[in-house]
Structure 1
Amino acid sequence: MAWSPKSPEISARRARRLVLDMALIRAVDGVDVYLRCAMRKPTLIQDQALRSEIDRANRSVFKKIVAVENAIPDLDPLLIAMVAALVSWRNESAHVEADDGLSERHRAILEEGNADIASKFRGLDSNVMLRSYDAESPPTFKEVASFINASHHFIQDLEDQLFARIDPEIFLKQLVGVALQRRADGPSEGNGRSSKAAEIWGRAEDDRPRYVRSFLQHNGLTLERAKSGPSLKFKEETIKRLLSFNPKELGIWLQE
């Protein structure tokens, strides 16, 4: 096996562009995967209107970002604009007829926030970045690194906002339902989930709380709230009810 290009310089430039384009694709995929996971039970995205907009976006990550931006106005507009630029650049480099170009609103945010961008992203010049984008040039290493950084902070900001909007009891119901279904290893229409619930909530009243607590802790709940990062706190009354349910009462609660 050998590598004998006619022009090593041209070949190296092509390889470099390929690597940078692939980095863009992976960064966009990371944002998309987070949004898809946030839609699955137990859902972080509980807002039905936002869920419908994301569903309508189908495979368009750009439209999903716009839907999130419209539904959650407290998100950092600079991070959203950077992620929008990331997705648009990826689309135009990967799809000849890409129609999700950078909007004038996002462009204005990037232009007006040039100083903040330079401060947050190690001297990145958003005006130079936009000129490269308009010229359909490949992104520089610095631009790609800044996009990846922005996507990470965007997801962190989004998760903080989503946790602030979550109904804890709905989340807990979904968590219990999903966890039981996983234990059952079968379709929810069958008796698998019910039998697994009976193994825990069908215990004697004195033993039941211990088994339920063990089940909850095994599925991510803790006695103390996390000191950093987003977290949920469930009402003591809700947990007491959950510990006291028999299998029939649990089934009714899960369907409420």
Structure 2
Amino acid sequence: MISVMIAWRKRAVHEEADTEINICHRSVLQDAKADIAVSYRGLSVDMMLDGFDNSAPTFKEIASLIHATGDFIRELESFQFQRLDTERYLRGLILEGIYSAEPTQAARQAEMKQRLQGVWGKDIRDRPPVISRFLQRQGLSQTKKYDYSVAFDDDLISKISHMRTSDILDWLLSDDNSVV
């Protein structure tokens, strides 16, 4: 269905673009037309393909294609998150949060250490909620919104919460991804 949407969009925007639906994609749609009708509230694959060949998409077709795009994204995220190295990802999030554009390596590390100090420099008892807020600003949530969402191990968060500023900086800049 995604290929139909892309071809229809190309047809609407680019007059001379290749705007046909691959024969293999048409075959997949035909083979799945019963499932598509159930998943997309009665969408007829035959009518959609006929509409593609002869007219503009209907509102139902557009709504179904948007829905299919959301389904596709959820499947991609699920696939990606199942294989995600959460420790490496967490390391990348923290690095992104303290990123420095200073021109020299020494200046970058000094600025990054200063930013880490603002979080990891807190008293050990006050640090976990500060780290939590820092990670939320990087896009993490404390609750799993979807069944395929990533959950970070409490032990990993606890370990990084107990690191000193210099330890977390060393961990972030090391080639080794394991938490000390």
TM-score by length of 2: 0.78
Corresponding residue for 2:131? 215
* 1:128 has 2:53 as partner: no
Identity of aligned residues (%): 30
The alpha-carbon distance between structure 1 residues 179 and 128, as it changes in their structure 2 partners (threshold 3 A), is: same
Change (3 A) 1:241 1:150: same
Q: Which position in structure 2 is the counterpart of 1:104?
A: 23
- 1:61-100 correspondence runs (5 A): 82-99=1-18
Task: List runs of 5+ in structure 2 lacking aligned partners.
Answer: 176-180
- Distance change (3 Å), C-alpha of 1:209 and 1:164: farther
Q: 1:177 aligned to 2:91?
A: no
Aligned residue pairs, count: 166
Partners in 1 of 2:102 and 2:77 — Cα distance?
29
- SS of the residue corresponding to residue 98 of structure 2 reads helix
Once the two structures are superposed, residues 199-245 of structure 1 have per-residue CA deviations (whole angstroms, 9 ceiling, x without a partner) of 22234xxx23522442224433566x537433323334422331222
Helix, strand or coil at the partner of 1:219: helix
Aligned residue type for 1:159: E
User: 1:109 is aligned with what amino acid?
Assistant: V
Q: Distance in 2 between matches of 1:188 and 1:170?
A: 24
**In 2, Cα distance between the equivalents of 1:233 and 1:118?**
34
Q: Is 2:124 the counterpart of 1:198?
A: no
Structure 1 CA distance, aligned partners of 2:90 and 2:163? 14
Match of 1:240 among 141, 145, 158: 158
Equivalent position amino acid for 1:214 in 2: V
| Equivalent residues of 1:209, 1:243 under 8 A apart | no
Answer yes or no: is the 8 Å Cα contact 2:121–2:165 preserved in 1. yes
Distance (whole Å) between structure 2 residues aligned to residue 134 and residue 124 of structure 1: 16
TM-score, normalization by structure 1: 0.57
Q: 2:101 aligns with which of 187, 211, 224?
A: 187
Amino acid at match of 2:29: L
CA RMSD of aligned residues (A): 2.4
Amino acid at match of 1:87: I
- Contact 1:213–1:243, Cα closer than 8 Å, also in 2: no
Q: Following TM superposition, where does structure 1 have runs of at least 4 consecutive aligned residues deviating by more than 4 angstroms?
A: none
Given that 2:86 and 2:152 are in contact with CA atoms closer than 8 Å, whether structure 1 keeps it comes out as yes
Structure 1 unaligned blocks of 5 or more = 1-81
Contact 2:40 2:64 in 1 (8 A): yes
